[in-house]
């Protein structure tokens, strides 16, 4: 599946770069409308990305314009204490805390636009199973079909930050 994704992304890049000069002329209104729709959709994603209300939109498996990585990790710490500890870790890291929901134990953090990415949204929520707290993590790219390893790197960096903060 990953190989097919690599091939399709490469094909789309070649196709778009080859056809853009030919079709992007003021006398072709259909292509101009298509271009404005894509730009409008991109701006829409930039505007709504900083709200937990749109978590289901960015993490949906049907959203083809985002790449997602989901992981779970269990801890022997209470959900409330783990929630507070993660917020503390985020505040001392490169991640930017955007929104928290203390009732649902949900956190939204973002990463800025870089050369490799249009930015990522990181969603963290907590569940209790027995005596363990399960941290559910989802890193979602913003408006790109391939993450170039950024989602996995975000998860690894967050886990390293958490582990180092839990050492006494």
pLDDT digit string (tens) for 70-117?
999 999 988 999 999 999 999 988 889 999 999 999 999 998 877 778
Tell me, which fold does domain 52-166 have in CATH? Answer: Alpha-D-Glucose-1,6-Bisphosphate; Chain A, domain 4 (3.30.530)
- Identify the pLDDT of residue 46: 83
CA 129 to chain centre: 26
* Confidence check: pLDDT of 10 > 60: yes
Classify residue 86 as exposed, middle or buried by CB count within 10 Å of its CB (0-12, 13-18, 19+): buried
**Residue 61 and residue 118: Cα distance in Å, rounded?**
19
pTM metric for this prediction: 0.78
Averaged pLDDT of the chain: 83
21-39 in b/e burial notation, b at 16+ Cβ within 10 A?
eeeeeeeeeebeeeeeeee
């Amino acid at each position: 599946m990953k190989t097919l994704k690599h091939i399709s992304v490469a094909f789309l890049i070649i196709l778009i770069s080859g056809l853009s000069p030919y079709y992007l002329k003021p006398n072709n209104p259909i292509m101009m409308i298509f271009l404005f729709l894509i730009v409008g959709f991109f701006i829409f994603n930039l505007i709504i990305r900083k709200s937990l209300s749109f978590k289901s939109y960015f993490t949906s498996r049907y959203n083809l314009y985002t790449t997602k990585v989901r992981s779970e990790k269990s801890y022997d710490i209470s959900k409330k204490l783990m929630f507070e500890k993660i917020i503390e870790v985020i505040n001392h890291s490169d991640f930017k805390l955007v929104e928290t929901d203390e009732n649902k134990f949900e956190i939204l953090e973002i990463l800025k636009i870089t050369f490799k990415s249009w930015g990522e949204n990181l969603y963290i929520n907590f569940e209790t199973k027995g005596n363990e707290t399960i941290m559910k993590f989802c890193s979602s790219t913003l408006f790109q079909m391939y993450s170039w390893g950024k989602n996995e790197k975000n998860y690894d960096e967050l886990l390293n930050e958490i582990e180092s903060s839990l050492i006494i």
